[in-house]
Structure 1
Amino acid sequence: MPTLVVGQEVCIVTPSNFDVSELSQNREIIVRSDNAQMIQDTTARFDGNVKIISPDALIIADSANISDSGKELIASGDVEYQDESLRVFSQGVELNSNLKLLQMEDSDYEMKDIAGRGAAKLLSLSGERGLTLESVTFTTCPKGGEDWQISASEISIGKDKPFGEAFNTIFKVGGVPVFYLPYFAFPVTAERQTGLLFPKISNSQSVGLEYEQPFYWNIAPNYDATISPRFMTERGLQLKTEFRYLNYGSRGEVQLEYLPNDIDTAEDDERYFYRFSHQGKLAEDWNLNIDFSGISDDNYIVDLGSDYYNRADTHLYRQVGLSYFSEQLDFTMQFRDFDVIGDHPSVYRALPEMKLNYASDLSKYLSFNVNSELAYFQSSLDSNPDAIRLHVEPSLQIPYQRAWGELLAEVSVLNTYYAQDVDENAALADETLRTIGQGRLYGSLIFEKQQSLLDKDYTLTLEPKAQYLYTSYEQQDNIGLYDTTPLLTTFSNLFRGQEFTGLDRINDNNQFTLGLTSRLIDKQNREKMVFSLGQIFYLQNTKIIDGTRDGNRSALAAELDWQVNQRWFLHSDIQIETRTDRVQRSSFATEYRVNDDKLIQLNHRYIRDLSGEQINQLGLSASWPINEKWAWVARWYRDTERSRTTESFFGVQYESCCWALRVTAQRHLSNRFDVNGVRTQDDFDSGIALQFVFKGIGSSKGSTSMLEQGLFGYKQPYLLNQ
């Protein structure tokens, strides 16, 4: 379980540090003491502040006897033994170099590679067997505060082995035995090791009481897997697996989740989820990317959850992409498909979509570009026609860039050919060629002024920008919509010169775009505030039937990112229809952030019309420590349009020196789909989760990670560099 960092009491046992430079060189054994004497020329006796230095270890004691030419040693009285992996305190130590054996009784030990300590009735260190501890205890808690402890009949750590073995182990919490294992293995180095991970325990209306036990398998240095049986009282037994690989120039993951019989369904349905992702280089400048997912039914993510998708998602990606990049030529080929969740409009598959772009500087002030695309679109619905689209767009640019601003003149010819598999009586054309001309003039200036604000010096910029765009008109009613949807009127979209994504609709334009950006930059060249405002002014209305214009100007778009100080952040964007002075879209988020575990965030989102519905949503997220050991997190979202809470989440965490406990409770819209694939709007799901960790051998994430759970999750509201 993630542990809280803020206010953490510094009392976990830290690994023992050992300075190897104190060891002797050239296989010498050095003995220092207050007094020394020889007994019958066979035994050397040392008394008072005895320090024995060898090439492998350091021994400190009150007295010591060395015999058999230094091959046998017996030390007593407040003995301390140190080597690169262990530090031991005892009343006596026996060392036999012939047997390569060291033994200490009734000892206290500290391990170097893992944060922990303990006591052992007998400690044996052998050159062949490694370390063996009998009647042993282990904990990461400080002495006198053993909130949790492991006791075992024997613990052995083999020589040069990355893991240890424990036999007849009893786990105790507060001195009370809570768990017994006849055998288990545990890591003793920072390297990844095969073994059990901490279990996950929770309860919800959807799955009932659940227990998930992850098992980590370190197959090889560049391969590993996690196998997680998950038992749910309302669903049955599920198996979750994850396989990861990392090679030179590539990496990937394979996830498979399988529930053979869901006992909560009428016919004990089989349910599953799979995902494969890969990113890698095939050769110099060539890359391959794969993201392919699928589920058994629409409600899988809603009912059983997912680590990779949200219950509000409507599509799963199925994409394979090949790309090539060079200084002048770029090529990409993608096979794009989607697994549609619920009753949503069918999305066209691109099987494949190829893009080839070429750029060249003909002279210092003249550039030539060609953007081209070839795509084959296919739909799962018989009523939607398949189509081939070929697009070639040559353009000439005259760029001029200086520190004070930028000027750009550009002319383009947009040629698009369509071959559509349509019926004879369809409104779409079987074949059509569309040629559109476009010209663009763009300019921007940068004015700077030194500004003092709250006794701090800043650079204040004022950056006006303007664009004239002309695009010729050609009728496009006989072309289907394959990858085209209207664009939002955000500030970044104002200068695109296009009102749609994709190429199926290219609106005619005769318009000016005016914009203004202002920045506040500190002495370290970090942006502390960015404000942008812009609007498009239409000289004539569009003739495209699918156009979204209303009046002679676009909505007024504004954006603000502001780091008020080291703790306060603010982000806002808004789009206002100036003809009616009505807000079309807006979002606002402000955050007070001391550190990762001490923050409060307030946000609001408004959309006047989203698929016929108005969105008006208020959210609050917080994470705050109560004292050094207690902390809480909370998240709350309310739909003000329907006057109801859509999600509420609360978590509390207790953290001592060496263990932590987390309890979370949440209630949210279930978002289930009915038999017709329509998402329900009034059903809620609630649940409680419990997590426990022994600190020092678990995760180190902060309590903010609890806020990442749920339907909306926590996101930082700002984009400024800090």
Structure 2
Amino acid sequence: MLSLALLHAHGASAQTVDLEGPLTLKRTPQLQETVPQALRGDQSSFISGERISGQPDLQTEVTGNAQLRRGDTVINADRLSYDQPTDLAKATGNVRVNQAGNEYSGPDLELKVESFEGFFNNVRYRFLATGGHGDAQRIDFVDDARSVARDATYTTCRREDYPGWMPAWMLSATTLHTDTEENVGVAENAQLSFMGISTPPFPSLSFPLNSNRKTGLLPPTIGIDNVNGVEITQPWYWNLAPNRDITLTPTFMSKRGLNLSTDFRYLEKGYNGEARVDYMPDDALRDRERWGIWTSHSQTFDAKALGLSSFSGSLNINRVSDDDYWRDFSRTPSLTQRLLSSDGTLSWSKGDWSGQARALYYQTLQDTTTSSTIIPPYNRMPQVTADYNKYDWHGFDVALNNDFTRFDSNPLLQYQNSNVLLNQPNAERVYSQATISRPFLTPGSFVVPKLLLNARAYNFADPLSVRPDAEAYGKMNGVSSATVTVPTVSLDTGLVFERNTSFFGRSLVQTLEPRAFYVYTPYRDQSAIPVYDTAANDFNFATVYTENAFSGNDRIADNNLLTLGLTSRLIDADTGAEAARFGIAQRLRFSDQKVQLPNVPTVEKGVGDVLMGAQINWTPKWGLDTTIQYNPDSHRSTRNTLSLRYSPGPYRTISMAYRYQADSTPGAGDGNKSIDIGWQWPLNDLWGTKDENLGPGRGLGGGRWYAVGRLNYSLIDRQMTDGIIGLEYDGCCYIGRVVLERLTTGQVTANTRIMFQIEFVGFTSVGTSPMRTLQTNIPRYTPLRQPVLGPSRYTNYD
């Protein structure tokens, strides 16, 4: 084997090179993926083969295992001639070209190596980025990024080495233009074949050569919906800039008409966001115009110019045309939400201070098919907060929280009591809470005494009309302002014991953590104060050790209670991972809790409900989480939750949950008892197909079926409330999906649709994609294909 190095630098010869000193390696964090255009003319050509002849600096002939290498281009052939003045290489016999990882092979080639300009006859090619490959009668190389193939085919199906092999899908075109710089392919007079079935010819069809965005028509989708009828959607994508794009999506619904959706995204220096507008000029279903607006915007400002540590803002708009929008358009950004919030916020911080100014407006969508209504929350127009937090100030933690809010509601909120409807006026509220605590911490114990002072003042837009059952009836009836000041003292104490142990041969550290939490808040009559932003806290391990029984600032619960709890954890001695946690807590009230929300009875003194819970993650495959709320007086549980997860490996997960919530009062009918099951599982496990290690986000191998779904069944109503069930098939180079979805959109209505999709991997997809539905509803669902970084050209280095 002989080799020869030729210096190709604009006519310079090897004799004119003056090397000063020995060659040294240049340090670089990574190899160059692309050779800069300015350096291509300065690269040397390396030629090797069994026999080399020719004239220096003019022409070189190589026969037998001939190879020419320059930069990211390598040419291998049985015979090769290279004319250095014209930079023209001619190769014949088993010609193989590797250009930055893209491969071409055929009988003969003519190519200007530096500009990568020439042609290749009867060529077989393969692109590195997508794994797409095919054959062509001839490929003309325009430059190192652009080429034109004649009578070409293209597919991403893995080529099998046996006679008569045909890919599952294949694109045939009279002319195929490829541009690896823009990462786009354009096929003229194209025809797509799948499983022997061919589409009619397309005059022109474009497709991406990698996962980057590309301007053009996206694949159309066709779906069937019991509300919309047959849906035909044809999106058009416009890649405005690397940081901006817009998608226009007209959708024709056979039962309703035409809907146009516009989605604009942007990512700029200092700000980013998205805006979507849907418009239907004439909805045959409702006989009116329909529209929806959803926007989100975030921005950071120059905080230093204002003397601040940080300064940012956000704007979010969620608005629709009518009450029925949530039911008729269940695939909008707000999904089936009936409470839509729009808000603008400015946030700042400086040292230990932080705050925000906010305007918040709600749109409440009522269910027009029933008589039940949702009480709309109050708008906050505006809300201004200023908070101070200082930790470890001479051993003390100090906090001051201030809030001014103007509550506004167009429809008057009403509470019903004994068939008497009473209005609640709009108001301005100033709230302030001062907190000081002194933590005493040791490795095995903690004691945290805390003192809080809550103060709030109201200015009502109309004179107050107090409920007759309120204690303050008569005293506050007709007043236009009110003030309340409530102090609170609490003491939080606990111990932490540890011991080494083992279970089932596993070394563990077991903890025993008793905890006692005492809180005292004197009674202040607040029954006449309207409720603007307050609700009862959920009873769980996160709230059982808190001073107030309410969220929001309109009620401060009077408390004289002691909470006792015990937690035990099992911690892996080697990794520190928590294998299991068990907890129990119970409250002991020394006096009645009189402060309540309207129409809620007093909580009597004595022993409260017992809260028990367990979280077990003994192995990564199994997970168990359960909570039980038990009433010792009635000897019944008032709420139970049990969830079980089994995930033995990729694309294998089963989750089950049981939820029970007793009625708030006997016969109220607001309780819940349901079973929820979700799964993703390869059906090939039934006949023992072994998995293939294809890497993350690549599935388990071709020829596999997957079952997916989620079912929510109400044990009280004895019916399925929501359900998703489907199949996925991984054909290696294509994925087929069929999913049936049923979502409840009211007490007596539901939306049912079927989604069918064929995804030609690395090319395009046809049908209605169920991916959003699967990812939103199935716990731990993993797509069979996920975006990954494109392979380096060195993964296919020749």
Same-fold call, TM > 0.5? Answer: yes
Query: TM-score scaled by structure 2?
Result: 0.80
Note the 1:59-78 alignment, pairs <5 A.
Answer: 59-67=75-83, 69=85, 71-78=87-94
Bigger CA drift: 475-484 or 427-436? 427-436
The DSSP-based 3-state class of the residue aligned with 2:245 is strand
Cα displacement (A) at 1:690: 0.6
Paired AA for residue 316 in structure 2: D
Corresponding residue number in structure 2 for 1:321: 345
| Aligned residue number for residue 689 of structure 2 | none
Q: Could you tell me which residue of structure 2 aligns to residue 677 of structure 1?
A: none
1:212 to 233, 243, 248: 233
- Residue 681 of structure 2 is matched in structure 1 by 624
Give the letter aligned to residue 311 of structure 2.
W
- Determine if contact 1:348/1:377 at 8 Å carries over to the other structure: yes
Q: Does 1:270 align with 2:289?
A: yes
Contact residue 556 and residue 576 of structure 1 kept, 8 A = yes
Closer/same/farther in 2, CA of residues 103 and 199 from structure 1, 3 Å limit: same
Deviations along 1:9-50, one digit per CA (max 9) or x if unpaired, are xxxxxxxx9998xx9995433322222445999865432111
CA contact (8 A) 1:633 1:704 kept: no
1:598-637 equivalent positions in 2, closer than 5 A: 598-609=652-663, 612-627=669-684, 628-637=703-712
Residues 508, 119 of structure 1: alpha-carbon distance in 2 compared, 3 angstrom cutoff: same
Q: 1:309 aligns with which of 334, 339, 343?
A: 334
Check whether the contact 2:40–2:114 (CA below 8 A) recurs between aligned residues. Answer: no
Cα offsets for 1:449-508 (capped at 9, x unmatched):
112112111221111111111111111122111011222221211111212221211121
Contact 2:653–2:780 (8 Å) recurs in 1: no
CA distance in 2, matches of 1:704, 1:264: 25
Q: Deviations over 1:139-196 (max 9, x none)?
A: 0012224111111111223584443332211111123321432123333355322233
| Partner AA of 1:330 in structure 2 | S
Could you tell me whether the CA contact under 8 Å between 2:218 and 2:235 is conserved in 1?
yes
Q: CA deviation at 1:96?
A: 5.0
| Change beyond 3 A, Cα 1:705–1:528 | farther
For residue 169 of structure 1, the aligned residue among 190, 206, 210 is 190
- 1:507 pairs with 2:557: yes
Kindly indicate whether the alpha-carbon contact (under 8 Å) linking 2:755 and 2:770 is maintained by their aligned counterparts in 1. no
- Which of 479, 490, 506 is the matching residue for 1:456? 506
In structure 2, C-alpha distance between the alignment counterparts of 1:582 and 1:40, rounded to whole Å: 98
Equivalent pair of 1:429/1:478 in contact (CA under 8 Å): no
SS class of match (2:327):
helix
| Superposition CA RMSD, Å | 2.9
Which SS does the other structure have where 1:480 is aligned?
Answer: coil
1:609 is displaced (CA, Å) by 1.9
Residue 400 of structure 1: aligned partner: 440
Q: Which residue pairs with 1:240 in the alignment? A: 261
Give the TM-score taking structure 1 as reference length.
0.88
Q: Separation in 1 of the partners of 2:730 and 2:116?
A: 43
Write the deviation string for residues 360-383 of structure 1: whole angstroms up to 9, x where unpaired: 358433333222211111111243
Deviation at residue 134 of structure 1 after TM alignment: 1.2
**Aligned pair 1:34/2:42, yes or no?**
no
Query: Are the structure 2 counterparts of residues 689 and 507 from structure 1 closer, same or farther at C-alpha, using a change threshold of 3 Å?
Result: same
**Amino acid across the alignment from 1:492:** A
2:245 maps to 224
2:207 maps to what in 1?
A: 186
1:695 maps onto 2:761 in alignment: yes
Compared with structure 1, are the counterparts of its residues 654 and 565 closer, same or farther at alpha carbon in structure 2 (3 Å cutoff)?
A: same
Change (3 A) 1:189 1:653: closer
1:77 Cα deviation (Å)? 0.9
Which protein has greater RCO, CA pairs closer than 8 Å, 6+ apart? 1
Q: Distance in 2 between matches of 1:554 and 1:319?
A: 40
SS of 2:326's partner is: helix
Q: 1:119 is aligned with what amino acid?
A: D
Q: CA deviation at 1:418?
A: 1.0
* Aligned counterpart for 2:363 among listed residues 315, 339, 344: 339
2:713 corresponds to which letter in structure 1?
Answer: R
Q: Is the 8 A contact 1:135 1:154 kept in 2?
A: yes
What does the per-residue CA deviation read over 1:416-468, in whole Å, with 9 as the maximum and x for residues that have no partner? 11111223765363111111121111111111111211211122111111111
**Counterpart among 271, 279, 282 of residue 250 in structure 1:** 271
- State the shift of 1:565 in Å: 1.6
Aligned residues: 683
The aligned amino acid for 2:762 is: G
Distance 1:350 1:96 in 2: 70
Counterpart for residue 419 of structure 1: 459
- Structure 1 gap ranges (5+): 1-16, 672-680, 718-722
Deviates more, 1:92-101 or 1:437-446: 92-101
Give yes or no for the alignment of 1:683 onto 2:749. yes
**Cα distance in 2, alignment partners of residues 437 and 34 from structure 1:** 95
| Separation of aligned partners in 1, 2:391 and 2:34 | 61
**Contact 2:511–2:569 (CA under 8 A) maintained in structure 1:** yes
Q: Distance in 2 between matches of 1:182 and 1:613?
A: 60
Give 1:548 shift: 5.0
The answer to which of 132-141 and 183-192 deviates more is 183-192
Which of these residues, 771, 775, 778, is aligned with residue 714 of structure 1? 778
> Secondary structure of the equivalent of 1:603?
strand
Percent identity of the aligned residues? 25
Q: What is the alpha-carbon distance in structure 1 between the residues aligned to residue 180 and residue 716 of structure 2?
A: 67
1:716: Cα distance to partner?
Answer: 5.8
2-side partners of 1:562 and 1:716: how far apart? Answer: 18
- Aligned equivalents of 1:613, 1:100: Cα separation in 2: 73
**Counterpart in 1 of 2:397?**
367
The alpha carbon displacement at 1:658 in A equals 0.8
Which residue is 1:485 aligned to?
535
TM-aligned CA distance change 1:71 to 1:320, over 3 Å = closer
